[in-house]
Amino acid sequence: MIGNQVLELVQEQLYLSDSQPGSFVHVACGRDVKSSFFRDLKFKDVFLIDGNPEVCRHLHEEASLGENTKILQEVVSEVDGCKKFYLTNNERFDSTTDPSDLCGVFKNLKVIGVEERETVSISTLLAKVDADRKKFNVLILESIGRATVVLGSVSKERLSEYSIVGIKLNQSDSEAAKKQGSLDSLLVRRGYKLLLDDRTDFPFAFRVYVRRDELIQINALVEENRALKEENESLAQELRSLERAEVLEKTLFFEKRLDKLEQFLSEKIEGVVARLDKRLDRKLFNTALRLESSIALQNYFSSTDFTTSFQGWAISSDVAAYLIGKIEENNYDLIIEFGSGSSTALFARTASRAKSLPKEKANAANGRSSIKEVVAFEHHEHYLDKTARQLDKLGVGGCVNLVHAPLINQVIDGEEYLYYDCGTSLAEISKDYSVPSKKILVLVDGPPGNTGHCARFPAVPLVLEYLGMHQIDFVLDDYARPEEKEVVEKWKDFFERKGIDFFDEVFRCEKGVYFCRVGPQ
List, for residues 151-207, the tens digit of each pLDDT value.
889 999 999 999 999 999 888 777 778 888 888 999 999 999 999 999 888 888 899
Residue 274: what pLDDT? 59
Mean pLDDT of 220-228: 78
Q: Are residues 99 and 172 in the same domain?
A: yes
Average pLDDT, whole number, for the chain? 84
Of 220-229, 246-255, 274-283, 474-483, which one has max mean pLDDT? 474-483
Least confident of 89-98, 257-266, 374-383: 257-266
End of a domain among 211, 231, 262?
211
| 300 part of a folded domain | no
Give per-residue pLDDT as tens, 67-76. Answer: 899 999 999 9
* Model confidence band, residue 513 (pLDDT cutoffs 50, 70, 90): very high
N residues, the chain: 521
pLDDT top residue among 174 and 116? 116
140 and 57 co-located in one domain: yes
* Domain final residue, candidates 256, 287, 318: 287
Query: String of b and e for 324-347 (b: at least 16 CB within 10 Å)?
Result: bebbeebebbbbbbbbbbbbbbbb
- The span from the CA of 182 to the CA of 273, in Å, is 31
What mean pLDDT is predicted for residues 369-375? 76
Supply the pLDDT for residue 207. Answer: 92
Closest CA to 394 of 442, 351, 445: 351
Which range (54-63, 357-366, 484-493) has the least confidence? 357-366
User: 125 and 266 in one domain?
Assistant: no
Strand, helix or coil at 28?
coil
Q: Is 493:298 a contact under the CB 8 Å cutoff?
A: no
pLDDT exceeds cutoff 90 at 116: yes
**148 assigned to some structural domain:** yes
Closest CA to 417 of 408, 430, 425, 426: 408
Q: Mean of the pLDDT values across residues 225-243?
A: 81
User: 120 with 155, same domain?
Assistant: yes
Residue 395 counted as domain residue: yes
Q: Whole domain around residue 263: which residue ranges?
A: 216-287
Are the C-beta atoms of 336 and 362 separated by less than 8 Å? no
Are 220 and 207 members of one domain?
A: no
d(CA 499, CA 487) in angstroms, rounded, equals 18
For residues 187 and 73, membership in a common domain is answered with yes
Residue 292 located in a structural domain? no
| Residues 228, 344 share a domain | no
Is residue 295 assigned to a domain?
no
pLDDT at 305 (0 to 100): 45
Residue 297 lies in a domain: no
Does a structural domain hold residue 505? yes
How many domains is the chain built from?
3
Strand order in the sheet with 439-444: 401-404, 373-378, 334-338, 439-444, 471-477, 513-518, 502-507
Instruction: Examine the domain organization and report whether 200 and 225 are in the same domain.
Output: no
Same domain, 8 and 113: yes
Say whether both 14 and 139 belong to one domain.
Answer: yes
pLDDT at 503 over 90: yes
State yes or no: pLDDT of 436 exceeds 90: no
Return the higher-pLDDT residue of 69 and 508: 69
The set of residues, in sequence order, having a beta carbon less than 8 Å from that of 86 and lying 6+ positions away, is 94, 95, 96, 97, 98, 99, 111, 113, 114
Who has greater pLDDT, 62 or 504?
Answer: 504
The answer to whether the CB of 33 falls within 8 A of the CB of 48 is yes
Same domain, 250 and 316: no
Domain boundary among 231, 252, 287: 287
CATH number for the domain spanning 366: value is 3.40.50.150
Q: Which residues contact 177 (CB under 8 A, 6 or more apart)?
A: none
Judge if 384 and 492 occupy the same domain: yes
Asked if residue 301 is part of any domain, the answer here is no
